[in-house]
Amino acid sequence: MNHDHIASAFDRDLEAIQALVVKMGGMVEEAIRESAQSLESRDVERAEKVRAGDKEIDELERRINDEAARTIALRAPVSKDLRTVLSVLRLAASLERVGDYAKNIAKRTSVLAEMPRISGTENSLRRMAGEVQSMLKDTLDAFIRRDPVLAESVRQRDNDVDHMYNALFREFLTFMMEDPRKITACMHLHFIAKNTERMGDLITNMAEQVIYLVTGKPPEEARPKGDETAYMRDQA
């Protein structure tokens, strides 16, 4: 078997694995969108579909892991080719965790459906989830196009998600202090906001992985962070 044949076989294997990652990314995008919309509309049935769909996301990650392991064993990639396979594995792992957070949001929707609404907060959560979903779409596009500039723009936008989270955190504190009857609902909503903020962090990690994949180096500048509540916890 000549070298060109081996190279073309590796390219085909890699294209197939990357196609699975893009498919998985699309499913996770849908999970984020559906979990946020089910919360806003208090649609328990829609939330249950998100929870059920998480199994497909998990199965896709398993397939990617298996295919990547098979490719490494058969093709023994080195240098940039190995970096690509390892990047794909890390992207798939992050996507699986983002899917888990979307599932967790859907779980809390079923509980919140039985409680009075907290004025305005669910719309804010949907906008925050919309920004996270947009970041994921751009990260996947950057991966497909090998575009480090687009990936870097995603890194910068994580700061916006942090600011949205901080604003919601303060709102929840105000509601709970003004009316103790809202404490339980606000706690659930806070966990949803925190899960959404963590999705943003994971997607930013993915963007950094794309930058590393393309350039061979991690981003030089530290990621901007705007989660003030992390500072508050550190000072406690």
Domain boundaries, the chain: 3-235
Count the neighbouring beta carbons within 10 Å of the beta carbon of residue 156: 13
50 has pLDDT over 60 = yes
| 110 pLDDT tier (thresholds 50, 70, 90) | confident
The CATH number assigned to the domain with range 3-235 reads: 1.20.58.220
pLDDT digits (tens, 9 = 90+) for 60-100: 999 999 999 998 888 777 788 888 889 999 999 999 999 99
Asked if 196 and 169 touch (Cβ cutoff 8 Å), the reply is no
Ramachandran angles phi, psi of 76, nearest 5°: 45, 60
- What global pTM score does this model have? 0.88
> Which tokens in the block code for residue 60?
């896709």
H-type alpha helices, the chain: 3-41, 44-75, 79-112, 121-145, 148-178, 183-215, 228-235
AA letter at 192: I
pLDDT digits (tens, 9 = 90+) for 173-228: 999 999 999 999 999 999 999 999 999 999 999 999 999 999 988 887 766 666 65
Give the DSSP letter of residue 224: P
> Which tokens in the block code for residue 103?
């599932």
Distance, in Å, from the CA atom of 81 to the CA atom of 26, rounded to the nearest integer, reads 24
